[in-house]
């Protein structure tokens, strides 16, 4: 299909949603401030769309030229086809829902990559860039320090998933340090913050026609950070739970997730306790056979445990929910006699009994409260039988009030579990996830409040960006022609204005003590609000309704039942019954609840509209006091099909949420606004480059108050001159409009920013090359010096080792020589002693025994006049003596005695020994000795090498210190 055909199809659908304004008319309206482009606009669009292979490379839609719904749509479609789901649009991030899991897109490694990046904006567009920008704003402590992340879009566009990713990101990067708290505490906070999501989604989300996990309530989650920017807690604020879904589900939609989780995840024991057999069918659980990803009962139970909900409290919660389901099967029969209360259908009696047992209330009292109304007339009470419709309404009211109170109790419990003390946190990052814009076949008060909330958020976006940015141009002294944008202030005046508006008339009608009439209210709305162009009526319709032209399109609201829903009456007898419940949780929920009884002072009663409006006003005050960050979620197709892009569906959302106007203001004006000081800190290095110094003909700056601005102007002029010289062109009017210096900021177009970044990268590359050269030269010189030093050290060490080795050899040789000489002398002395006769031995004067030797041990021979010392260890001596020798051993000290005895293994008995003169054949003997008597000495192993204390007598003996004279005879 050609581009023209595509544009024609888109125009028809968009014209119907915006009151007849086509895309072509929209283009002409947007470009009316630039008449020079009108003639060639269509040609430029065709030329831009001709480059289809490059359309997916535009990661920021402000780079698109020209900016039209068609070009923006084509770029988003091209990026979606290559599975790129995030795109920048000025200050807004556009997120396209892929309708299928993309795990690698949100992994922990991707989080760390964006968190640790010096400039995350230089990375591909991602929701983590928005999260990191908000986190760094808190770290920089620039006012306003607190941040708000506003996630908006239609139902099914992916707001809940985006909010979940943001919470996971902060729970990861802001709780990853344990500088202040222990790691267990940090992990507990992170787990509880993340576990609040499954519970909130189970009790507050439902499967609708547009989304399997649609949030049926609004929530604003404040992630609390301490002075170290660490996550220490969180708090949850909720807005307008769609409690009517408990008792009334639209066609082909489901009830809240928690009921289906109970049906599909309960055990047999739990089913028996909750009185929910497999074959039972519940009227309030349509499409129970449909299974979706959110039907995960065990994850909900696990999250409850982590948040401190014990088993007993869980049992009470599920009993109450099972009782609500049993109430849905209670039906009443119609009677002709209005003076009598309605009877239960026969099959409903069992259901009523089960509901009473599960809610722990008396069955007869529950039966009476559902069928009989208590009216007060002064101090008297009057019982009035209810009709079949009134009985069904009271049954539904009982179920809705129980579920609403249970949901509020869960929110309070979650806040008590995850909220930090006010003294421990100082800043917060808020994540806003509200219902998307809704337009069904039948729209009532819930859709009016939901669309009103979206109108307020759209106004906040318009006031903060579209209007504020253009006002900033004027305050900074720029010549700016204002771009028209869609302002929804008139629609808000219609809904919430004072003194007359839709809300005020609804409240007034609700506070009157009378039955409401839809036709009367329609006539009054038409009379009071006919001057507002945003409201209209179909006079030919039989159903009373009114149509409001919202920023996202026209929606018709049915008036029938709107006043009753705004009153939200709760019969006091039902509250009294629940206060008597034996279920401690149910009793706690309604003990402190004030009973709303209609009185003559009904004007002071709080209605649903007034309560929601007040809570929304408090939310807007928080948003206005923080720095907002916008994420626009786009639903690419109405059927939630994976990777399916419907151009008609997307272009309606782009125009409805003001994306095209946002892009056009950013692209046609100056999307980049940088304070002078920050600009010079980033690009001041360009002035120091020699090329720019030579090209500059400006004088040195004079000191004064405008010095910083003059530096900025000088830098911009130098960059432009350098660009012109390189491109060999002249500075024209187009170049002059690339940048403008205001009073405090410099305003840049994307082209000028790209030029500055290009010059900055070139200078940085040259500086980096110079640094690398110097570093490499330094490294080479250092390696050369280290190599020379290592060579010198090795030579010195080798010479020292050689000298030490030679010295060791010399010392060893000297020791060996001395030992050898001593051994030779010892052998010589022993040989000389063996040649002596016994007479000579007796007659010779024996030298005095050394006291030390005497103390260590000696052997005395009794037949010898003088004691002869025998060295016991390490070598024994063979002495010449008489055949019969009496030996006595003297030694002091037990250890010394044992040492001598171990060395001389002398026999313990006396005996005669015969010595043969020729003993050369009988083991070892001295052939030179001529002993007359002999003593056999046994030497045991000594520490010396080859020593043997107890040698084997039959083996050859080797060694220098072993002596064996002869065997014992």
153 marked among binding-site residues? yes
Same domain, 795 and 729: no
Q: How far apart are CA 936 and CA 925, in angstroms?
A: 11
Facing residues of 421 across strands? none
Residue whose entry in the numeric block shows the structure tokens 């009373």: 544
Contact assessment for residue 636 and residue 652, using Cβ atoms and an 8 Å cutoff: no
Q: How far apart are CA 665 and CA 480, in angstroms?
A: 11
Same domain, 798 and 742: no
157 marked among binding-site residues? yes
Task: Look at residue 771 in the predicted model and tell me its pLDDT.
Answer: 93
Residue 360 in domain: no
Q: How far apart are CA 738 and CA 731, in angstroms?
A: 11
Out of 748, 776, 810, a domain closes at 748
Out of 718, 748, 778, a domain closes at 748
Task: Look at residue 794 in the predicted model and tell me its pLDDT.
Answer: 95
CA 238 to chain centre: 23
Q: How far apart are CA 297 and CA 554, in angstroms?
A: 39
- What lies within 8 Å, CB to CB, of 128 at 6+ separation is 110, 111, 114, 115, 120, 165, 169
Where residue 552 falls among pLDDT bands split at 50, 70, 90?
A: confident
- What lies within 8 Å, CB to CB, of 721 at 6+ separation is 695, 696, 731
* Other Cβ atoms closer than 10 A to 333: 12
Query: How much helix, strand and coil, in percent to the nearest 5, is found in the chain?
Result: 50, 10, 40
Where residue 852 falls among pLDDT bands split at 50, 70, 90?
A: low
Task: Look at residue 690 in the predicted model and tell me its pLDDT.
Answer: 63
Same domain, 770 and 857: yes
530 marked among binding-site residues? no
Residue 443 has pLDDT above 60, yes or no: yes
Where residue 16 falls among pLDDT bands split at 50, 70, 90?
A: very low
Strands 92-96 and 745-748, how do they pair?
Answer: unpaired
Where residue 481 falls among pLDDT bands split at 50, 70, 90?
A: low
Contact assessment for residue 966 and residue 934, using Cβ atoms and an 8 Å cutoff: yes
Q: How far apart are CA 659 and CA 68, in angstroms?
A: 10
DSSP assignment of 589-613: HHHSPPP----TTGGGPPPHHHHHH
Contact assessment for residue 623 and residue 148, using Cβ atoms and an 8 Å cutoff: yes
* Other Cβ atoms closer than 10 A to 310: 9
Facing residues of 861 across strands? 887
Task: Look at residue 861 in the predicted model and tell me its pLDDT.
Answer: 40
156 marked among binding-site residues? yes
Residue 168 has pLDDT above 60, yes or no: yes
Average of per-residue pLDDT across 576-595: 83
Same domain, 728 and 804: no
**Closest by Cα among 858, 838, 837, 840 to 849:** 858
Same domain, 706 and 835: no
Contact assessment for residue 394 and residue 369, using Cβ atoms and an 8 Å cutoff: yes
372-431 pLDDT, tens digit each = 888 877 677 788 888 888 899 999 999 999 999 999 999 999 999 889 888 889 999 999
Active-site residue list: 155-156, 160, 211, 214-215, 436, 438
Distances (CA, A) of 293 to 258, 434, 635: 13, 21, 19
Joined together, the tokens standing for residue 788 give 């020379």
Residue whose entry in the numeric block shows the structure tokens 């401690």: 584
Joined together, the tokens standing for residue 311 give 């088993």
Q: How far apart are CA 221 and CA 419, in angstroms?
A: 11
Strands 672-675 and 739-741, how do they pair?
Answer: unpaired
- What lies within 8 Å, CB to CB, of 388 at 6+ separation is 332, 333, 334, 335, 342
160 marked among binding-site residues? yes
Residue 924 in domain: yes
Q: Classify residue 736 as exposed, middle or buried by CB count within 10 Å of its CB (0-12, 13-18, 19+).
A: exposed
Q: Strand, coil or helix: what is 384?
A: strand
Residue 402 in domain: no
State the Cα angle at 612 between 610 and 615, rounded to 5°: 110
Q: Is the peptide bond before 339 cis (omega within 30 degrees of 0)?
A: no
Same domain, 789 and 921: yes
Same domain, 830 and 942: yes
23-37 pLDDT, tens digit each = 333 334 334 434 343
Average of per-residue pLDDT across 793-811: 95
* Better-scored residue on pLDDT, 480 or 432: 432
Residue whose entry in the numeric block shows the structure tokens 């313990």: 908
State the Cα angle at 717 between 713 and 719, rounded to 5°: 120
Residue whose entry in the numeric block shows the structure tokens 């337009």: 439
Same domain, 793 and 899: yes
Q: How far apart are CA 805 and CA 811, in angstroms?
A: 10
Q: How far apart are CA 153 and CA 632, in angstroms?
A: 6
Distances (CA, A) of 892 to 854, 886, 900: 9, 20, 11
Distances (CA, A) of 694 to 537, 682, 690, 721: 72, 21, 6, 11
Lowest mean pLDDT among 233-242, 302-311, 633-642, 695-704: 695-704
Joined together, the tokens standing for residue 711 give 């530096």
Q: Look at the chain and report how many structural domains it folds into.
A: 3
Residue 192 has pLDDT above 90, yes or no: no
DSSP assignment of 842-879: HHSPPPPPPHHHHHH-EEEETTSSS------SS-----
Residue whose entry in the numeric block shows the structure tokens 């056979």: 289
Residue 778 in domain: yes
Where residue 729 falls among pLDDT bands split at 50, 70, 90?
A: low
Task: Look at residue 529 in the predicted model and tell me its pLDDT.
Answer: 92
* Other Cβ atoms closer than 10 A to 616: 20
Residue 512 in domain: yes
Q: How far apart are CA 470 and CA 572, in angstroms?
A: 55
Residue 397 in domain: no
Same domain, 744 and 806: no
890-946 pLDDT, tens digit each = 444 554 555 555 554 444 444 444 444 444 444 444 444 444 444 444 444 444 444
Average of per-residue pLDDT across 433-459: 88
Residue 319 in domain: no
Same domain, 847 and 708: no
Same domain, 731 and 775: no
Distances (CA, A) of 751 to 33, 734, 756: 20, 11, 9
**Closest by Cα among 63, 70, 65 to 27:** 70
Q: Give me the domain span that covers residue 536.
A: 481-567
* Better-scored residue on pLDDT, 802 or 714: 802
**Closest by Cα among 285, 570, 562, 238 to 400:** 570
159 marked among binding-site residues? yes
Same domain, 742 and 787: no
Lowest mean pLDDT among 84-98, 191-205, 720-734, 817-831: 720-734
Where residue 949 falls among pLDDT bands split at 50, 70, 90?
A: very low
488-524 pLDDT, tens digit each = 889 999 999 888 999 999 999 888 877 778 888 999 9
Q: Classify residue 700 as exposed, middle or buried by CB count within 10 Å of its CB (0-12, 13-18, 19+).
A: exposed
Distances (CA, A) of 60 to 35, 688, 750, 941: 25, 31, 10, 95
Residue 869 in domain: yes
Where residue 113 falls among pLDDT bands split at 50, 70, 90?
A: very high
What is the average pLDDT score of the chain? 77
Where residue 744 falls among pLDDT bands split at 50, 70, 90?
A: confident
Out of 549, 567, 585, a domain closes at 567
**Closest by Cα among 152, 205, 106, 151 to 430:** 151
State the Cα angle at 918 between 917 and 923, rounded to 5°: 115
Task: Look at residue 897 in the predicted model and tell me its pLDDT.
Answer: 52
CATH of residue 487's domain is 1.20.58.530
């Amino acid at each position: 299909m050609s581009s023209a055909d595509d544009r024609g199809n888109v125009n028809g659908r968009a014209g119907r949603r915006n009151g007849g304004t086509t895309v072509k008319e929209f283009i002409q309206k947007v470009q009316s401030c630039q008449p020079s482009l009108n003639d060639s606009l269509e040609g430029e669009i065709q030329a831009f769309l001709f480059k289809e292979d490059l359309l997916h490379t535009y990661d920021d839609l402000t780079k698109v030229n020209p900016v039209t719904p068609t070009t923006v749509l084509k770029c988003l479609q091209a990026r979606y086809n290559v599975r790129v789901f995030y795109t920048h649009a000025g200050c807004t991030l556009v997120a396209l829902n892929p309708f299928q899991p993309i795990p690698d897109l949100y992994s922990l490694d991707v989080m760390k990559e964006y968190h640790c990046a010096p400039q995350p904006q230089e990375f591909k567009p991602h929701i983590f860039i928005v999260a990191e920008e908000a986190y760094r704003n808190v770290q920089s402590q620039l006012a306003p320090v607190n941040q708000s992340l506003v996630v908006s879009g239609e139902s099914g566009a992916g707001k809940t998933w985006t909010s979940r990713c943001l919470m996971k990101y902060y729970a990861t990067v802001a709780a990853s340090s344990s500088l202040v708290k222990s790691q267990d505490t940090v992990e507990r906070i992170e787990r509880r913050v993340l576990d609040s999501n499954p519970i909130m989604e189970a009790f507050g989300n439902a499967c609708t026609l547009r989304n399997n996990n649609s949030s049926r309530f609004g929530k604003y989650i404040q992630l609390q950070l301490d002075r170290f920017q660490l996550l220490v807690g969180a708090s949850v604020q909720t807005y307008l739970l769609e409690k009517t879904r408990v008792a009334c589900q639209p066609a082909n939609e489901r009830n809240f997730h928690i009921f289906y989780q109970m049906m599909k995840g309960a055990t047999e024991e739990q089913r028996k306790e909750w009185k929910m057999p497999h074959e039972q069918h519940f009227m309030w659980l349509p499409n129970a056979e449909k299974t979706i990803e959110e039907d995960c009962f065990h994850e909900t139970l696990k999250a409850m445990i982590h948040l401190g909900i014990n088993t007993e409290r869980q049992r009470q919660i599920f009993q109450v929910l099972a009782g609500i389901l049993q109430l849905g099967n209670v039906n009443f029969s119609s009677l002709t006699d209005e003076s009598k209360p309605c009877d239960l259908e026969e099959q409903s009696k069992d259901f009523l009994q089960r509901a009473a047992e599960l809610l722990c209330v008396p069955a007869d009292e529950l039966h009476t409260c559902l069928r009989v109304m208590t009216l007060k007339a002064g101090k008297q009470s009057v019982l009035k039988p209810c009709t079949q419709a009134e009985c069904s309404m009271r049954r539904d009211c009982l179920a809705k009030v129980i579920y609403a109170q249970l949901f509020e109790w869960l929110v309070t419990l979650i806040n008590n579990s995850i909220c930090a003390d006010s003294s421990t946190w100082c800043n917060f990052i808020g994540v806003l996830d509200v219902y998307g814009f809704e337009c069904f076949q039948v729209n009532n008060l819930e859709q009016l409040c939901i669309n009103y909330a979206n109108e307020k958020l759209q106004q906040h976006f318009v006031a903060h960006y579209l209007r504020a940015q253009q006002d900033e141009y004027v305050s900074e002294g720029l010549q700016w022609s204002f771009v028209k944008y869609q302002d929804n202030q008139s629609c808000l005046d219609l809904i919430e204005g004072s003194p007359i508006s839709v809300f005020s008339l609804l409240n007034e009608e609700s506070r009157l003590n009378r039955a409401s009439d839809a036709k009367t209210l329609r006539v009054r709305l038409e009379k009071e609000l006919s001057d507002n162009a945003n409201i209209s009526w179909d006079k030919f319709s039989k159903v009373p309704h009114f149509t409001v032209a919202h920023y996202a399109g026209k929606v018709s609201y049915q008036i029938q039942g709107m006043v009753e829903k705004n009153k939200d009456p709760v019969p006091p007898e039902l509250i009294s019954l629940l206060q008597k419940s034996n279920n401690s949780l149910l009793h706690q929920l309604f003990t402190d609840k004030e009973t709303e009884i209609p009185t003559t002072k009904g004007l002071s009663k709080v209605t649903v509209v007034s309560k929601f409006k007040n809570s929304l006003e408090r939310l807007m005050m928080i948003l206005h006091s923080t720095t907002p960050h916008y994420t626009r979620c786009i639903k690419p197709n109405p059927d939630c099909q994976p990777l399916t892009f419907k151009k008609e569906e997307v272009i309606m959302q782009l125009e409805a949420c003001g994306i095209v106007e946002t892009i056009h203001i950013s692209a046609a004006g100056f999307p980049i606004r940088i304070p002078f000081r920050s600009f010079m800190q980033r690009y001041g290095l360009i002035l120091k480059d020699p090329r720019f110094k030579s090209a500059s003909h400006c004088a040195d700056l004079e000191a004064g108050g405008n010095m910083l601005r003059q530096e900025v102007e000088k830098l911009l002029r130098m960059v432009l001159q350098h660009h012109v010289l390189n491109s060999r062109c002249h500075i024209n009017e187009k170049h002059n409009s690339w940048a403008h210096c205001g009073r405090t900021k410099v305003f840049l177009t994307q082209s000028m920013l790209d030029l500055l970044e290009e010059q900055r990268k070139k200078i940085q590359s040259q500086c980096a090359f110079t640094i690398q050269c110097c570093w490499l030269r330094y490294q080479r010189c250092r390696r050369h010096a280290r190599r020379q030093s290592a060579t010198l050290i090795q030579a010195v060490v080798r010479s020292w080792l050689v000298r030490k080795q030679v010295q060791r050899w010399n010392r060893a040789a000297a020791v060996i020589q001395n030992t050898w000489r001593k051994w030779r002398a010892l052998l010589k002395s022993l040989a000389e002693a063996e040649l002596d006769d016994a007479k000579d031995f007796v007659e010779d004067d024996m030298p005095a025994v050394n006291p030390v030797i005497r103390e260590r041990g000696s052997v005395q021979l009794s037949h010898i006049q003088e004691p002869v010392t025998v060295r016991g260890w390490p070598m024994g001596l063979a002495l010449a003596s008489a055949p019969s020798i009496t030996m006595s051993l003297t030694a002091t000290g037990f250890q010394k005695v044992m040492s001598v005895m171990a060395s001389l293994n002398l026999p313990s008995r006396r005996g005669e020994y015969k010595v043969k003169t020729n003993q050369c054949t009988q083991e070892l003997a001295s052939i030179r000795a001529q002993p007359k008597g002999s003593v056999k000495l046994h030497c045991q192993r000594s520490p010396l090498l080859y020593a043997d204390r107890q040698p084997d007598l039959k083996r050859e003996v080797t060694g220098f210190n072993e002596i064996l004279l002869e065997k014992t005879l």
